[in-house]
Amino acid sequence: MKKKAPIPDNFTETYIAVNGIEEYTLHYTAAPELPVLLFVHGGPGSSEAYFAYVMESIFSDLCTVVHYDQRGTGKTFMRNPGAAPDLHSLMTDLHETVETLKKQYHKDKLYVLGHSWGTVLGALYALEHPENVAAYIGVGQLVDVIENEQAGYNALKGAVIRSGNSRDIKKLRRIGPYPERPFDEVMLQKMTKVSALKQKYFPDGKTGAIIKSALKSPIFKPSDILGLFQSSKINTALLVSVGNFTLYDYSHDYQVPVYFISGDRDMTTPASEAEKYLKRLTAPVKREFRIKDAGHSPMLDNPRAFKEAMTAILKN
């Protein structure tokens, strides 16, 4: 077992009661006069609390950061194994989490940062509850799953053809038409195969280093691995429904500042799609930060540039 990272003085773990469940939260507290940022993780079903200690160097002098494991994910799943996630329950959970944190930290508003799938929850929350949101920050912003997949697939297909790799060309042919609406479990299986090829031609981050950092996390326990496997089934229906999601079905009129942070090598949620959506929406302030040499998790791939972006946002 890897030696765990030291536990800092500003580190606390708690469970809070929200929407009929006990939800796991992880707090890295900063000076009380600094803002509070709620980190909404990706997936569905992929806790990012294990990487919080790695990201703390980005946020420590900027804000208090609170991570939480969503319904059906991580330590929240282990405490509430029968609580299946859907968009409505997750949005209710998020709202009650925000209200709880506002009271705990004596803040009128929080910064809401969504990553990947978390950008769905974060963007919708900013639209529905602007009174609680100081600004919305979308990292790897998911706009329309099919359009995202189309952009990524087009880039992949071009790369495979240019490579001349006959085996991979055959793999693409066997996958067949991609992507297609409506998104179903067949499409989910195809997405898994396409994603594997994307990792070959467009490596997204330092996977080995990321896994090692999770194992060294001060909150990691061996039982968490079991929870990861057990929770995958409970998230299947949500994964399929996410495949049919598009932000274009919702209002484009944000009443809060909106910031997108995208990796220039992101083939999961290509920056071009986030940029296109950002141009369409209205907001008091809107801005995109494009992080060089970064994939779908720019805060892990290029933390220095990510910190520069967050400083510009939080010090604005």
Q: Are 300 and 51 in contact (CB under 8 A)?
A: yes
Q: Is residue 23 part of a domain?
A: yes
Among 167, 183, 200, residue at a domain's last position: 200
User: How confident is the model at residue 3, as a pLDDT?
Assistant: 61
Whether 26 and 117 share a structural domain: yes
Distances from the Cα of 96 to the Cα of 36, 93, 120, 254, angstroms: 16, 5, 17, 21
User: How confident is the model at residue 243, as a pLDDT?
Assistant: 86
Whether 85 and 97 share a structural domain: yes
Q: Are 236 and 117 in contact (CB under 8 A)?
A: no
What residue type is 219 in one-letter code?
A: I
As a whole number of angstroms, the distance between CA 174 and CA 107 comes to 54
As a whole number of angstroms, the distance between CA 31 and CA 38 comes to 16
Q: Is residue 185 part of a domain?
A: yes
Whether 227 and 184 share a structural domain: no
Among 176, 200, 224, residue at a domain's last position: 200
> Phi-psi region for residue 133, left (φ > 0), alpha (ψ -120 to 50) or beta?
beta
Whether 229 and 155 share a structural domain: no
User: How confident is the model at residue 79, as a pLDDT?
Assistant: 95
Q: What value does the mean pLDDT take over residues 305-312?
A: 98
Whether 188 and 173 share a structural domain: yes
The CATH number of the domain holding residue 34 is 3.40.50.1820
As a whole number of angstroms, the distance between CA 46 and CA 33 comes to 31
Does the pLDDT at position 181 exceed 90?
Answer: no
Specify the DSSP class assigned to residue 69: P
What residue type is 239 in one-letter code?
A: L
Whether 132 and 239 share a structural domain: yes
Q: What value does the mean pLDDT take over residues 239-249?
A: 90
Q: Is residue 6 part of a domain?
A: no
Which residue would you say has higher pLDDT here, 148 or 109? Answer: 109
Whether 163 and 48 share a structural domain: no
Confidence band, pLDDT 50/70/90 cuts, at residue 279: very high
- Note the maximum CA span of the chain: 60
Does the pLDDT at position 205 exceed 70?
Answer: no
Q: Is residue 243 part of a domain?
A: yes
DSSP of 147-167, one letter per residue? HHHHHHHHHHHHHHHHHT-HH
Total structural domains within the chain: 2
Whether 42 and 72 share a structural domain: yes
Place of tokens 């793999």: 171
Whether 163 and 56 share a structural domain: no
Q: Is residue 133 part of a domain?
A: yes
Structure tokens at 188: 């989910």
Percent of the chain topping pLDDT 90: 72
Q: Are 243 and 187 in contact (CB under 8 A)?
A: yes
**Per-residue pLDDT tens digits for 212-235:** 777 788 888 888 887 777 888 899
Whether 113 and 76 share a structural domain: yes
Does the pLDDT at position 92 exceed 70?
Answer: yes
Specify the DSSP class assigned to residue 191: H
Residue 297 lies in domain = 11-144+206-314
Q: What value does the mean pLDDT take over residues 268-275?
A: 93
Q: What value does the mean pLDDT take over residues 77-91?
A: 95
**Per-residue pLDDT tens digits for 110-125:** 999 999 999 999 999 9
Among 180, 200, 220, residue at a domain's last position: 200
Is the N-terminal amide bond of 303 cis, ω within 30° of 0? Answer: no
Which residue would you say has higher pLDDT here, 184 or 97? Answer: 97
Whether 182 and 54 share a structural domain: no
Helix (H) or strand (E) holding 104: helix 87-105
Distances from the Cα of 213 to the Cα of 100, 162, 218, angstroms: 30, 35, 10
Whether 98 and 213 share a structural domain: yes
As a whole number of angstroms, the distance between CA 199 and CA 210 comes to 15
Q: Is residue 100 part of a domain?
A: yes
Does the pLDDT at position 1 exceed 50?
Answer: no
Q: Is residue 120 part of a domain?
A: yes
**Across all residues in the chain, what is the average pLDDT?**
91
Angle at 271 between CA 266 and CA 276, to 5 degrees: 155
**Per-residue pLDDT tens digits for 22-81:** 999 999 999 999 999 999 999 899 899 998 998 998 999 999 999 999 999 999 999 999
Q: Is residue 5 part of a domain?
A: no
